Amino acid sequence: MHEHAASPAQSLMPHLFSIADFVPQPVLRGLVTRLLARQPLVNLAVSNIPGSRAPLFLCESRMLGLHPFINVVGNVALIIGVLSYVDDLGVGITVDPDVVGDPRAIVTHLRAAASELVTLAR
């Protein structure tokens, strides 16, 4: 098997994530938007955000579910947000339609994969 040498951007990537722990949030937000607009490494992002395990209420009305929405940033064309709430997962899919096209195909594939996962878990 032939190994490829890492590009300069790829070898810097682990260090960029460690820098995020020390850079103030307002500065980081400004830099990330500019960096993502030109980065060639990824076009898909998936987030996994743990939500409340206990039911939440607003004016005595129970919140039934949470569904994340994450803006497409830079040239990351597909973003899948996963947000847990009590015993459910909410999934939000955001696409750049000029790059991804019709997101319904992605939803169809995700539903099939989730169904397969549930079947295997049983």
* Residues 42-47: contacts with CB under 8 Å, at least 24 apart: 42/76, 43/75, 43/76, 43/77, 43/78, 43/99, 44/76, 44/77, 44/78, 44/79, 44/80, 45/70, 45/76, 45/78, 45/79, 45/80, 46/79, 46/80, 46/81, 46/82, 47/79, 47/80, 47/81, 47/82
pTM value is: 0.63
Mean pLDDT across the stretch 76-95? 89
Q: In the predicted model, what is the mean pLDDT of the chain?
A: 80
Domain ranges for the chain = 1-41, 42-122
pLDDT tens across 27-46, in order?
A: 777 777 777 667 777 788 88
Residue 12 pLDDT: 57
Using the predicted structure, report yes or no on whether residue 116 has a pLDDT greater than 90.
Answer: yes
Taking only the tens place, the pLDDT of each residue in 32-82 is 777 766 777 778 888 888 889 999 999 999 999 888 888 877 778 888 999
Query: Which has more confidence, 7 or 98?
Result: 98
Q: By mean pLDDT, which of 60-64, 71-75, 83-87, 96-100 is the weakest?
A: 71-75
